[in-house]
Amino acid sequence: MAHHVEVAEEQYVFKPETRKKLFILLAVGIVVFLLGLVLAMNDSGHHEEHGAAGHGHAAVTEAGKLVASADQHGAASEGHEHAAAGAEHHEKPTWLRRLYSTLWMNNIFFTGLGIIGLFFVAIQYAAQAGWSVGVKRIPLAMGSWIPFAGILMLVLWFITSHDIFHWTHDYLYQAGGPQFDKIINKKAPFFFWPLAGGTFPLFYIARMVIFFGLWYYFFVQIRKNMLAEDLEPTNAYWYKNRVTATLFLIIFGVSSSVSAWDWVMSIDTHWFSTMFGWYVFASWWVTGLATITLIVAHLKSAGYLKVVNANHLHDLGKFCFAFSIFWTYIWFGQFLLIYYANIPEETVYFVERMKTGPYSWIFYFNLIANFVLPFLLFMTRDAKRQISTLKLVCPIIIIGHWFDFFNMVTPGVMKQDGVVGFMEIGVALIFAAAYLLVVLSGLAKMPLFGKNDPMLQESLHHHI
C-alpha cells in the first residue's frame, strides 16, 4: 500500500507582469490587424479600379447568364443551374470578406479550445482517471472561454452570414427562379425548419444557442462541484461529477459533430463528408491537448504544480503524440475515400485546396506541422518528459491546427482571394491574448488542484 502524502494547497497568482505581457500581445495584435486592414483595403480598392470598367459592366449585363465561378461548392456540371450566383459574391469588397472569414475561422478555432477543456475534464471523471488530478483545473479554466465564444459566434453570425454561408441567400430556394438550387433547396429543412427555405434559419440558430447553453451549463455544474469538494472532504461531489460528466460526454458527442457541420461544413454547401464531424473534433482535440500541456509546462517552469512530476508530463506528451497520429488517420481516411471514389462534387473540395493560391502550401504544411514534426519530436520517452521539448512541440501543433482551420473555412468563402496576411495574423493574436486573459483569470480563481480529490493519492504516486 502506498503511503499517504500530505500536500500543500497551491493557488495560481495572475501576476501583473503576466497580464501586462498579454495586453502587449493584444496591442501588437491590434496594430498588426490594423496594418493588414489598411493594406487589404488599398489592395482591394486598387483591384476594383482596375476591374471596374470591364468587369463591372459584364457583371451587370450578364447577371442573368453569368455562370458563377464563385459557386464552386458544386460540380462544374451544375454550373448552369447557378446562373448569376456569382453576382452577389462581388457585392462586398475583398477586404471585408477576408475580415469576416478570419473572424469566423478564429472564433471556431478558439471555441474548440474552450469546449475541449471541459471535454478533457469530463473524460477524467468518466474514466475514473487518477493520474490527472494535478492538471485537471487547467482544462477546467479553459472552459471559461465558452460563454465568450458563444456570444461572439451569435453576433458574428448575424453580421457575416450572407458572406460566409452561401445557403443563407433566399433566391436559392425560389423554385423556377434563375438561381434556384435544387441541392441546397433539399437541405433547407436542416437550416430553416420549421420555417420555409430562404427565410430565417431558426433551426440552425436554435442549435447554436442550445449547444453553447448546454456546454456552459455543464461547465458551471462541474466547476461548482469541484470547488465544493475543496471545502468539504467528502467523495459525494466527485460522484456527482461522474454523473454530470457522463451526461456531458453523450451531449458533446452529438453537439460537436453537428456544430462542425453547421459552422464549417455548410460553408461549402454542396460538398459534404460523413467524416467531417470527426475531422473537426480531432483537430480541436489535439489542439486542446497541446494547449493544456503548454500551460502545464509554463506553470511548472514558474514553480507551480508541485504535485505534477515527469510522469504526468509524459502522459500529456503521449496524448499530444497519439492524437497527432489520430488526426492524421482521420485526415487520410477522409482524403482517401474522396480520392478513390473520384466523384466531381466531392473532389472539388480537395482540388480547391491542393491547387489554388495560398491554400496549396498550407495543405502540405498541415501534414508536416501536425503529423511529421510531432511524430518525430515526441517519439522518444525522454522527449515527452522534458519541459523544453513540450514547450517547443505544443506551439507547433497549435499553429499547425490554426492553419488547418484556415484551410477548412477560407477557400469556401474567399475562393481564389484567400491570403494569410497581417490581417489574419493580427486577428489570431487578438483572439489568443483575449483567450489567455480569460483562461488565466479563471485559473486564478480556484486552487490549482483539488486537495480533497479522492484520486489525489493515486496521482501523487503515479509512475510510468
> pLDDT digit string (tens) for 374-412?
999 999 999 999 999 999 999 999 999 999 999 999 999
Tens of pLDDT, residue by residue over 169-190, are: 999 999 999 999 999 999 999 9
Cell numbers given for 155: 453576433
Cell numbers given for 349: 473540395
Residue 224 CA to residue 232 CA, distance in Å, equals 12
Taken as a whole, the chain contains a residue count of: 464
pLDDT of residue 201: 97
Amino acid at 420: V
pLDDT of residue 4: 82
Cell numbers given for 132: 490527472
DSSP for 48-80, please give it. HHHHIIIIIHHHHHTTTT-B-TT-TTS-GGGGG
Q: Is residue 72 over pLDDT 50?
A: no
At residue 74, φ and ψ (nearest 5 deg) are -105, 180
Cell numbers given for 47: 483591384
- Cell 470578406 belongs to residue: 97
The candidate with the shortest Cα–Cα distance to 448, out of 136, 28, 39, is 136
pLDDT of residue 84: 39
Mean pLDDT for 217-241 is: 97
- Cβ burial of 280 (10 Å; 0-12, 13-18, 19+) is buried
CB contact burial 397-409 (16+ within 10 A = b; e otherwise): bbbbbbbbbbbbb
pLDDT over 70 for what percent of the chain?
90
DSSP character for 450? -
pLDDT of residue 75: 38
DSSP for 265-334, please give it. GGGSTT---TTHHHHHHHHHHHHHHHHHHHHHHHHHHTT--TT--HHHHHHHHHHHHHHHHHHHHHHHHH
DSSP helix/strand/coil, 191: helix
Q: Is residue 64 over pLDDT 70?
A: no
Cell numbers given for 341: 471514389
Amino acid at 112: G
Neighbours of 318 (CB within 10 A): 15
DSSP helix/strand/coil, 10: coil
DSSP for 196-242, please give it. PTTS--HHHHHHHHHHHHHHHHHHHHHHHHHHHHHHS--SHHHHHHH
Cα torsion for 31, 365, 267, 263, to the nearest 10°?
Answer: -70
- Cell 493574436 belongs to residue: 429
Amino acid at 304: Y
DSSP character for 3? P
Place 8 in a pLDDT band, splitting at 50, 70 and 90.
confident
CB contact at 8 A, 129 and 319:
no
HSE-CB of 4 using CA atoms within 13 angstroms: 4
At residue 152, φ and ψ (nearest 5 deg) are -60, -40
HSE-CB of 15 using CA atoms within 13 angstroms: 5
Residue 360 CA to residue 373 CA, distance in Å, equals 19
pLDDT of residue 432: 98
Bond from prior residue into 194 cis (ω within 30 degrees of 0): yes
Place 139 in a pLDDT band, splitting at 50, 70 and 90.
very high
Residue 301 CA to residue 316 CA, distance in Å, equals 16
At residue 153, φ and ψ (nearest 5 deg) are -60, -45
Indicate the average pLDDT of the chain. Answer: 90
More confident residue, 73 or 9: 9
The candidate with the shortest Cα–Cα distance to 125, out of 10, 214, 223, is 223
Mean pLDDT for 128-139 is: 96
